[in-house]
Chain A
Amino acid sequence: GAGVSQSPSNKVTEKGKDVELRCDPISGHTALYWYRQRLGQGLEFLIYFQGNSAPDKSGLPSDRFSAERTGESVSTLTIQRTQQEDSAVYLCASSLLAGGTYEQYFGPGTRLTVT
């Protein structure tokens, strides 16, 4: 079946502009996660959705970052007034979290470059 998809695959934006990053999880997966990965660094947790609620927003680095999810499908991560330090790959993952199945599956990521 189809895996996690993300769009766009690459985004170049000017400092101060807003950007929206989209994630389509695997069909039926109730949990959705966003991570940030700077070049050469590890995964940085941003936010987790269970259905369309976000029990854990602890990783959002500032109030410029927000995310929403429609039901158990698409999620959008929005970064307002982008800064150069926002440049990174933004990864989305989804998980079934039911019936003893807890593995996360990752999308290909969106590479964001802020100039």
Chain B
Amino acid sequence: QKEVEQNSGPLSVPEGAIASLNCTYSDRGSQSFFWYRQYSGKSPELIMFIYSNGDKEDGRFTAQLNKASQYVSLLIRDSQPSDSATYLCAVIMGYGQNFVFGPGTRLSVLP
């Protein structure tokens, strides 16, 4: 069974802190990983993608991938109240570009 798991949260962090969001996946052969942000009442918005082991940084966001551990994370530095949203992890699994989304982690950044 193709699965992507995330803690549902809510994850609460104070403004200015680092928020760490984690995701594990079941298919060891997966090669493509994505993080989406979804504000309440809005559609998911792509914020990061990562295909290689290691870290990828974009502004305040860093995606970390460890294929051996089947683990991908998203770090948000200097968290802002505007970062409060649900963060969805997505993984392409198997053949046919099967996108599998995790259930999402709700992040709350407290002013």
Contacts and interface: CB of A to CB of B under 8 A. Distances in A.
Interface string A23-61: 000000001010100000011010010100001100000
A103 interface: yes
Q: Is the interface of A mostly helix, strand, loop or mixed?
A: strand
A106 B43 contact: yes
A55 B96 contact: yes
Interface residues on B, range: 20 to 34
B92 A56 contact: no
Given A42-B104, A48-B97, A102 B32 contact: yes
A21 interface: no
A109 B10 CA distance: 25
A91 interface: yes
B17 interface: no
Nearest to B32: A102
Contacts of B104: 42
Interface in B82-111: 88, 90, 92, 96-104
Contact of B96 (A56, A103, A108, A109): A56
Nearest to A30: B97
A31 B96 CA distance: 10
B9 interface: no
Interface in B60-88: 88
Nearest to B92: A102
Contact of B102 (A42, A102, A108): A42
Given A48-B96, A55-B96, A103-B34, A43 B101 contact: yes
Given A43-B101, A55-B96, 17 more contacts: A42-B101, A42-B102, A42-B103, A45-B101, A48-B97, A48-B98, A56-B96, A91-B43, A95-B97, A102-B49, A102-B97, A103-B34, A104-B34, A104-B90, A105-B46, A106-B43, A108-B42
Q: What are the 9 closest A-B residue pairs judged by CB atoms, nearest first?
A: A106-B43, A42-B103, A43-B101, A102-B32, A109-B43, A106-B44, A55-B96, A103-B49, A103-B46
